[in-house]
Structure 1
Amino acid sequence: MASNLNLIGLDKKASQELSEKLNELLANYQIFYMNARGFHWNIKGEKFFELHMKFEELYNDSLIKVDEIAERILTLGYTPLHTYADYSSLSKIKAAKNISNGKEAIQKILEGYEVLLPLERELLEMSGDSNDEGTNALMSDYIREQEKLIWMYSAYLNQ
């Protein structure tokens, strides 16, 4: 194997750049996850049961994505970030504290997708350019899922 290729046959420099961007996505997902968890715990009001379940689905899905992203970074030959200090300093999504209003929580979720979706599209392009089908497929799946969720959450807010 050529010295400029990693263990899975991809260019080391491109894999490093992808891993750095994946770590940025990972940091944002960790904060997104914590926000969804907080919304689940703290939601109140008329739509409590509906939103409590929806936020649980969201944080469970986010937890799976966090693991997939970290494992993809490892597969590319690099180390995923794993401290909250790293996450909070790198994440563009900010922690949402003490939100119990459903519409406010959903607005924060939509704001999170405004950060996640462009990062995923950037990773989709980067992975396509470097022939990294594993990262490409992951990002393609995330984008498709989130575009539908954005439509659904926006419809809930009558946007």
Structure 2
Amino acid sequence: MFGWKKKKIEVNTLDIISPIPGEVVNLEQVPDEAFSTKAMGEGFAVRPVKGEVRAPFSGEISHIMNKSKHALLLENEAGIQVLIHVGVDTVSLKGEGFTSHVITGQRVEQGQLLLEFDIAKIKEAGLSDITSVIVPHGQEKVQRIESLQEAEAALRIYY
């Protein structure tokens, strides 16, 4: 009867699909405490079978590690940021084996090639190629994050 008094709460979602071909695994399997303990944020990891990082959603590259090219932040139109960090301690390679196809501030579309990396070079250096996909802590808009078991989506962010 008094439906006009009810406030409609709008909830938006962002599904994060795996940006890399490979096996999606829990963050706890990443051999780096910053990721495995979720100290940096919620997310998932990927054991890559191909050295390509593609945009898991359309947005803007808000930051890329220009010298090492091993990590980047992608931001959607609502300002939700996701970190894609290729390998563990791969910053030590100083960009060797990494090719960036984007720059900070560039608009990208879902599925667009962002980075390429040489899996063999990472392993030859004695490093893990497991890649973390993280929703960094401290984003006020993020209400909750769910793990998904759907075919391609690994996370759903509610904001």
Settle same-fold status: TM greater than 0.5.
no
Higher helix share goes to which structure?
1
Higher strand share goes to which structure?
2
